[in-house]
Chain A
Amino acid sequence: MSENHDRTLELAAGYALGALDEEDRLLFEEHLGSGCAECEAAVADYAGATVMLAASAPQATPAPELRARVMKAALAARPAASALERRVTPIRAPRKPPRFEWSWPWAAVAAAIALVAGAGWLTSGRLSEEVAHLKGDLAAERDRNALLESQAAEVNYWARVLTSPSARVAVLARTPDAETTLEGRAIYDPGTHAAVVILRNVFIPNGHDYQLWAIRGSTPASLGLVHPDKDGVAVVRVENAGDPSSLGAFAVSLEAQGGSPNPAQPTGPVVMLGKLGG
């Protein structure tokens, strides 16, 4: 093994710890990128040790509410693998720097960092601190930007469904089994097969769930359970409600908690039904 390689291998611990100086980090990442299995194994090994170091932090448990907040934020952002194929900026991918489309004001922050680095002033204590702050701000802005981009793409997608010139509407009428205040409406875009179903005054009886159905021909297909907010409003976004040639209506049934065991047939009473208009 060459002396050069040994020197690079010595950087593995600092890399796993996330503590290498910029120059060393770039050198080591370039080396990893060349496919050195020994260094990669060393990083994996030291990474396990950093988990142990992390676990030495005093024990703490987050508030139970955080779980729901995390799930809501994540689902609002949605993964890159989602069917909508929205652009999601990878953040600090290990092998290659993320591809990021610069836009004001992050471009200005990045340009400032580049200028300072180019002038060779990074060793100046005060300036280094400033640069560290700017880098921190930049990374945080990248995160926020990625999140906002995802959310904006989501909103735009559903706005297009709702405003599509070919959109068809189904007013969901209550059946005799329904609560008398229940109201609902479905908007379906034949172009994308997406639908938005809006229900009001949805107050779920204990031990039950409302379940949404698409009626395709004469066959029901479950679109999932309805989850109203605290005001009883439920907005259900369905990415694929069905083909326009077969989709004829939407329905809501009142089921035992968890929904109908048969995804192709309501088990409880149908409480709302609406045929799609032209």
Chain B
Amino acid sequence: MSQQPLDLECMERLRAGDPRALRELYDRYSSLLYAVALRILGNATDAEDAVQRCWVQAWQTAASYEPRRGPVAAWLLTMVRSRALDLARSLSSRRRVEDAVEAEAQDPPLDPSDTAERRALRESIAQAMTSLTEDQRRVLEIAYFEGLSQSEVATRLGAPLGTVKSWTRQGLGRLRELLPKQEWV
């Protein structure tokens, strides 16, 4: 079942300035937002900074959310990704790479609230990612987590821009088809 109906109800209250709605959304999505920020920034302090900025922005700009442009989760993710990429650009690339290597070397901490459903969901996402071609996966990951534009991705991979655009469409299209509509918590 999708969280979108619950999310939309929360967004209405968020627009009205109800802090309980912010708490609800925080409890539902902070792990996901934090995981993305950590993947981009490579260290916990900066990732938490990005997450905090994202929530303040969500609180202040709730009125800008347009349901027809995508789910609430996607809206929040767009903000946390932008904030994390802003921070990443203002940090030295050396520090970022070192931290990222260190973060990848560590096992993620155990989450006591982890459930069988959530583990199954992550497994299905991992499977979907492996069903992409190597090129599709790399294009999506570089663009999304490193913040490169399509022409920058093309330069990085030494591929024609049109091909990168095709891989993007095919890769995202494949993810859309493969994964069930589900909860993102």
Residues of A within 8 A of B (CB): 10-11, 13-14, 16-22, 24, 40-41, 43-63, 66-67, 69-71, 73-75, 77-82, 88, 90-95, 132-133, 135-137, 139-140, 143, 146-147, 150
Question: If the complex has contacts A19-B143, A19-B148, A21-B149, are A52 and B179 also in contact, measured as CB distance less than 8 A?
Answer: yes
Q: What residues on B are CB-neighbors of A92 within 8 Å?
A: 79, 82
The CA-CA distance from A69 to B55 in the complex, in Å, is 10
State how many angstroms separate the Cβ of A19 from the closest Cβ of chain B.
4
CA A45 to CA B179, docked complex, whole Å? 12
Identify A57's interface contact among B16, B145, B150, CB under 8 A: B145
Question: Quick one: which of A24, A60, A146 contacts B31, CB cutoff 8 A?
Answer: A60
Q: Which residues of A contact B70 (CB under 8 A)?
A: 16, 43-44, 47-48
How many Å lie between the Cα of A70 and that of B58 in the bound state? 11
Q: Choose one: B109, B125, B145; the contact of A61 (CB below 8 Å).
A: B109
Question: Which residues of B are in contact with A by a Cβ distance under 8 Å?
Answer: 14-17, 19, 22-23, 26-27, 30-32, 34-36, 38-39, 44, 47-48, 51-53, 55-57, 59-64, 66, 68-71, 73-74, 77-79, 81-83, 85-90, 104, 108-109, 111, 114, 121-122, 125-126, 128-129, 140-141, 143-145, 147-151, 153, 165, 168-169, 172-173, 175-176, 179, 181, 184
- Interchain CB contact under 8 A, B56 and A51: no
Cβ of B122: which chain A residues have Cβ within 8 Å of it? 55, 59
In angstroms, Cα B179 to Cα A48, docked, is: 10
The reply to whether A18 and B150 form a contact with Cβ atoms under 8 Å apart is no
Once the chains bind, are A59 and B111 in contact (CB under 8 Å)?
yes
| A66 cross-chain contacts in B, Cβ below 8 A | 30, 34, 48, 51-52
Q: Are the C-beta atoms of A143 and B126 separated by less than 8 Å?
A: no
Number of A-B contacts (CB under 8 A): 234
| Candidates B47, B69, B111, B184; contact of A51 at CB < 8 Å | B184
Shortest B160–chain A CB gap in Å is 14
Provide the residues of chain B in CB contact with A146, threshold 8 Å: 60
CB distance from A72 to the nearest CB of B (A): 10
Residue of B nearest to A79 (CB): B17
Q: Which residue of B55, B128, B140, B169 is within 8 Å of A10 (Cβ)?
A: B169
Q: Is A140 a contact partner of B90 (Cβ separation < 8 A)?
A: yes
Task: Find out whether the CB atom of A13 lies under 8 angstroms from the CB atom of B173.
Answer: yes
When the two chains form their complex, are residues A143 and B57 in contact, meaning their CB atoms are under 8 A apart? yes
Chain B contacts of A91 at CB under 8 A?
A: 57, 60-61
Main SS class of interface, B: helix
Give the distance to chain B from A56, nearest Cβ to Cβ, in Å: 5
Does A18 contact B74, Cβ atoms closer than 8 Å?
A: no
With contacts A13-B169, A14-B165, A58-B108 taken as known, whether A50 is within 8 angstroms of B77 at the C-beta atoms is yes
Instruction: Specify the chain B residue showing the minimal Cβ separation from A11.
Output: B165
Contact A52 to B168, CB < 8 A, known contacts A19-B150, A43-B70, A91-B57: no
Q: How far is the CA of A78 from the CA of B78 in the complex (A)?
A: 21
Q: Which residues of B contact A43 (CB under 8 A)?
A: 69-70
Q: Which of A20, A46, A77, A90 contacts B59 (CB 8 A)?
A: A77
* Pair B59/A79 contact, Cβ less than 8 Å: yes
- Find chain B residues with CB under 8 A from A137 CB: 86, 89-90
Docked CA distance A147–B56 (Å)? 8
User: What are 12 contact pairs spanning A and B, CB under 8 A?
Assistant: A17-B172, A40-B69, A49-B175, A52-B175, A59-B31, A59-B35, A61-B31, A62-B51, A70-B51, A74-B59, A81-B17, A81-B63
Please indicate the chain A residues that have their CB under 8 angstroms from the CB of B79 in the complex.
92
Within the complex, which residue of B38, B47, B68, B71 is in contact with A48, where a contact is CB–CB below 8 Å?
B71
Whether the Cβ atoms of B144 and A61 lie closer than 8 Å is no
Taking the closest CB of chain B, its distance from the CB of A189, in whole angstroms, is 22
Contact of A13 among B53, B126, B168 (CB under 8 A): B168
Give 8 nearest A-B pairs by CB, closest first.
Answer: A47-B70, A136-B89, A19-B143, A47-B74, A57-B39, A49-B176, A74-B59, A62-B34
